[in-house]
């Protein structure tokens, strides 16, 4: 090991990552290798499988919700008789409440979080910074299995008397106390989220420690791929704010099972708890949560745009710092979710102003993304298509946030489908497209084979078009004053003319769902029959592309010495190939110099 250090000629300080990461042989037993593995790459696959499974469930739930809104009271095709036997196969009002509650919960905490943060955070952080594993491999394993238990508890909540949670993913008390939901379903929901939160905190501690301590020699913070920046900032937010929601969930749990009355109030219950406190605690976490989901996607998109335009990212530092600024700001804007709760005017104006400030770093991000493409030689491969899709839908979603940040206009738009459209564009559509970009991009590294490009392009087109129609349509619904979470909107006379639009949105959602089958097919068939990927199928610079696909158990035979940032692409003096790896010595030039007789 000592010689390994000297081989780099690195500083003694930089030797740390080498010293603390001896090469362990891969475990021999099946259980330790595949199930209770501490290898970040295996854990990443476990998270990916877990997340995709729940994405499927959450997606089917979304389709049933849309079925009910498109054709209220009609039996759900295929599964209706099984899921709603008491109502001739049609969604019931309680079933509807359970559906959107579980859809939101599952998508956020059990699909997107495991895919983007659990799977890609795990897979990428060590590989991209040149480490052999996470700082705490056992904690990493525990993090996955904790999340797994949370998933089981959540699923179990569907099979208890009175059914699962029905208070929305926000689960506001008193509706979420026993006053509103006496059954055990809501208790299990609270418990599941609490457990999932524990898993997120474990992951966050691991990611942060790894990034701070395990960067390869020469991998300064400003040489890290922007993907790592995004994942790292997400870990900061998770570590700081999941505990806040955990405290709220714990109090809610005590209210439900121990007879405390933290959040219960009102004439019907005769106690003086304060339900508004829950809302504050929830949104202190809840607003950062949307950035928890989007920051990894931003990082990935920032890298992919540069990689596939074959030129450096424009304003790398400003991108990293803007993401950091947004991370900081995200901690102080939660009140914009509570404008109709009845805040004092000064407080509400304060939250409005702070929310507006996010425009500044966001504008810089968009400028950087677009300018990264300027002057490039863009390769329109599937990951790039999805990355550009993120820019598009996030543009739509981010801009519509202005209507909601503005106190006055939010009076009309709050809790309408405008909000549902807005947050799906940002946190569902953008994050989903970002996840797909990541899957198409790193699939070869993860599984050693490539996914089919043609099917990828079909999947992209079949996703982006209906996605924009679905969530754009929701913006229009909200503009018409359509409240969210309505089992049957046609109860209101002023919404009846919107029912055809509701139907059209549902059709688009069905198309969206159908095209996901292309992805499922491509994913599984490529596992077995995809083209062999080789080390570096995209011809890129970052460290993960210097090792085999899939990487060996210990990732790097020798910990690389990093010489430059992640985006040396298209440098004019490069002739043989248009890129220079992060740890690759300068080509020809020194040789030429040496050859010249002095």
Partner 1 sequence: MLRFGMPPDWSLDGHRIDALIGLANGLVAFYFVVVVAALATMIVVFRRRPGRKVAYFDGSRRRDVWLATALSALVFVSVDVNLEVHADLDLHRHFWNFPKPEEALRVEIMPQQWAWNIRYPGPDGKFGTADDVVTLNDLRFPVGKPVLARLMSKDVIHSFTLPFYRVKVDANPGSMNEVWWQAEKPGTSEIACSQMCGWAHYKMRGTATAMEPADFDRWYAEAAAEARAGYDPKDTIAHWGWNWSSTGGDSSAGGETGKGTANVAPSPAASPLAIVPRCALASCRAL
Residues 550 and 487: beta-carbon distance below 8 Å: no
Q: Applying CB under 6 A, which of residues 15, 48, 64, 65 lies at the interface with ligand HEM?
A: 65
Does 100 bind ligand HEM (CB under 6 A)? Our answer is yes
Residue 454 interaction partner, one of ligand HEM, Cu ion, partner 1, none, beta carbon < 5-8 Å per kind: none
Closer of 425 and 580 to ligand HEM (Cβ)? 425
Interactions with ligand HEM, residue window 510-549 (CB under 6 A): 512
Closer of 318 and 503 to partner 1 (Cβ)? 318
What are the structure tokens assigned to 534, written together? 């080789």
Does 108 bind ligand HEM (CB under 6 A)? Our answer is yes
**Nearest distance, CB of residue 480 and partner 1, angstroms:** 6
Residues 520 and 485: beta-carbon distance below 8 Å: no
Residue 318 interaction partner, one of partner 1, Cu ion, ligand HEM, none, beta carbon < 5-8 Å per kind: partner 1
**Footprint of Cu ion on this chain (CB under 5 A)?**
287
Closer of 64 and 533 to ligand HEM (Cβ)? 64
Residues contacting ligand HEM: total by CB under 6 A:
24
Q: Which H/E stretch holds residue 271?
A: strand 271-272
Residue 315 interaction partner, one of Cu ion, partner 1, ligand HEM, none, beta carbon < 5-8 Å per kind: partner 1
The closest residue (CB) to Cu ion is 287
Helix axes 226-257, 184-213, angle to 10 degrees: 150
Alpha-carbon distance of 388 to 530, in angstroms, equals 25
Closer of 48 and 166 to partner 1 (Cβ)? 166
Residue 427 interaction partner, one of partner 1, Cu ion, ligand HEM, none, beta carbon < 5-8 Å per kind: ligand HEM
For residue 266, the cross-strand partners are 271
Residue 236 interaction partner, one of partner 1, ligand HEM, Cu ion, none, beta carbon < 5-8 Å per kind: none
Alpha-carbon distance of 133 to 127, in angstroms, equals 8
Alpha-carbon distance of 113 to 57, in angstroms, equals 15
Closer of 364 and 509 to partner 1 (Cβ)? 364
Residue 572 interaction partner, one of Cu ion, ligand HEM, partner 1, none, beta carbon < 5-8 Å per kind: partner 1
Interactions with ligand HEM, residue window 476-495 (CB under 6 A): 484-485
Residues 187 and 255: beta-carbon distance below 8 Å: no
Residue 103 interaction partner, one of partner 1, Cu ion, ligand HEM, none, beta carbon < 5-8 Å per kind: ligand HEM
Closer of 428 and 446 to ligand HEM (Cβ)? 428
Contacting residues for 479 by C-beta, under 8 A, at least 6 apart: 413, 416, 418
Q: Which H/E stretch holds residue 244?
A: helix 226-257
Does 413 bind ligand HEM (CB under 6 A)? Our answer is no
**Nearest distance, CB of residue 180 and ligand HEM, angstroms:** 14
Give the CA-trace dihedral at 135, 141, 147, 150, to 10 degrees: -130
Residue 462 interaction partner, one of ligand HEM, Cu ion, partner 1, none, beta carbon < 5-8 Å per kind: none
Does 294 bind ligand HEM (CB under 6 A)? Our answer is no
Alpha-carbon distance of 15 to 576, in angstroms, equals 33
The closest residue (CB) to ligand HEM is 104
Does 295 bind ligand HEM (CB under 6 A)? Our answer is no
Closer of 66 and 414 to ligand HEM (Cβ)? 66
Q: By three-state DSSP, how is residue 532 classified?
A: strand
Alpha-carbon distance of 526 to 439, in angstroms, equals 12
**Nearest distance, CB of residue 405 and Cu ion, angstroms:** 9
3-state secondary structure 549-589: CCCCCCCCCCCCCCCCCCCCECCCCCCCCCECCCCCCCCCH
Alpha-carbon distance of 544 to 419, in angstroms, equals 39
Interactions with ligand HEM, residue window 156-215 (CB under 6 A): 168-170
Residue spans of beta strands (DSSP E) within 47-148: none
Q: Applying CB under 6 A, which of residues 45, 103, 414, 567 lies at the interface with ligand HEM?
A: 103
Closer of 178 and 209 to partner 1 (Cβ)? 178
| Torsion over CA: 228, 395, 238, 110 (sign) | negative
Alpha-carbon distance of 225 to 564, in angstroms, equals 11
CB count in 10 Å sphere of residue 513: 17
Residue numbers at the binding site for ligand HEM (CB under 6 A)? 62, 65-66, 100-101, 103-104, 107-108, 112, 168-170, 420, 424, 427-428, 431-432, 470, 484-485, 509, 512
């Amino acid at each position: 090991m000592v010689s390994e250090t000297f081989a780099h000629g690195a500083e003694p300080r930089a030797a740390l990552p080498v010293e603390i990461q001896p090469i362990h042989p891969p475990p021999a037993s099946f259980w330790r290798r595949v199930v209770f593995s501490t290898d970040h790459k295996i854990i990443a696959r476990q998270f990916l499988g877990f997340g995709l499974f729940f994405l499927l469930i959450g997606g089917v739930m979304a389709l049933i919700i849309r079925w009910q809104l498109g054709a209220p009271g009609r039996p759900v095709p295929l599964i209706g008789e099984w899921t709603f036997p008491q109502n001739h196969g049609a969604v019931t009002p309680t079933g509807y409440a359970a559906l959107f509650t579980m859809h939101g919960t599952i998508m956020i905490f059990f699909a997107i979080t495991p895919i983007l943060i659990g799977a890609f955070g795990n897979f990428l952080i060590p590989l991209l910074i040149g480490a052999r594993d996470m700082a705490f491999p056992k904690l990493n394993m525990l993090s996955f299995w904790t999340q797994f238990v949370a998933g089981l508890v959540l699923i179990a909540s569907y099979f208890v008397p009175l059914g699962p949670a029905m208070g929305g993913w926000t689960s506001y008390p008193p509706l979420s106390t026993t006053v509103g939901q006496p059954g055990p379903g809501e208790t299990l929901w609270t418990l599941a989220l609490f457990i999932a939160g524990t898993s997120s905190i474990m992951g966050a501690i691991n990611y942060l420690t790894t990034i701070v301590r395990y960067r390869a020699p020469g991998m300064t913070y400003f040489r890290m791929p922007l993907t790592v920046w995004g994942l790292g900032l997400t870990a900061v937010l998770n570590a700081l704010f999941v505990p806040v929601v955990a405290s709220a969930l714990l109090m809610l749990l005590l209210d439900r099972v121990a007879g405390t009355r933290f959040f219960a109030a009102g004439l019907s219950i005769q106690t003086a708890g304060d339900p508004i406190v829950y809302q504050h605690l929830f949104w202190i976490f809840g607003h950062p949560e949307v950035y928890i989901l989007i920051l990894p996607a931003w990082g990935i998109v920032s890298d992919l745009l540069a990689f596939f335009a074959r030129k450096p990212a424009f304003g790398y530092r400003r991108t990293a710092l803007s993401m950091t600024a947004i991370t900081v700001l995200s901690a102080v804007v939660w009140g914009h979710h509570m404008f109709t709760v009845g805040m004092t005017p000064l407080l509400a104006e304060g939250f409005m102003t702070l929310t507006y400030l996010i425009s500044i770093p966001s504008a810089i991000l968009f400028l950087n993304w677009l300018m990264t493409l300027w002057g490039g030689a863009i390769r329109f491969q599937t990951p790039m298509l999805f990355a550009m899709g993120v820019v598009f839908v996030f543009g739509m979603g981010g801009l519509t946030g202005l209507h909601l940040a503005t106190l006055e206009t939010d009076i009309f738009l709050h809790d309408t489908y405008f909000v549902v459209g807005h947050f799906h564009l940002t946190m569902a559509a953008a994050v989903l497209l970002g996840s797909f970009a990541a899957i198409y991009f790193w699939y070869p590294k993860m599984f050693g084979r490539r996914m089919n490009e043609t099917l990828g392009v079909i999947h992209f087109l079949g996703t982006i078009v209906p996605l924009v129609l679905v969530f754009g349509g929701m913006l229009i619904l909200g503009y018409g004053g359509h409240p969210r979470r309505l089992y049957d909107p046609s109860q209101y006379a002023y919404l009846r003319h919107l029912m055809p639009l509701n139907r059209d949105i549902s059709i688009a959602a069905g198309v969206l769902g159908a095209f996901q089958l292309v992805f499922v097919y491509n994913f599984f068939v490529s596992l077995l029959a995809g083209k062999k990927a080789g080390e570096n199928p995209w011809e890129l610079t970052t460290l993960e592309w210097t090792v085999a696909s899939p990487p060996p158990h210990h990732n790097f035979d020798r910990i690389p010495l990093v010489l430059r940032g992640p985006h040396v692409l298209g440098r004019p003096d490069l002739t043989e190939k248009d890129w220079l790896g992060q740890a690759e010595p300068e080509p020809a030039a020194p040789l030429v110099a040496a050859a010249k007789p002095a």
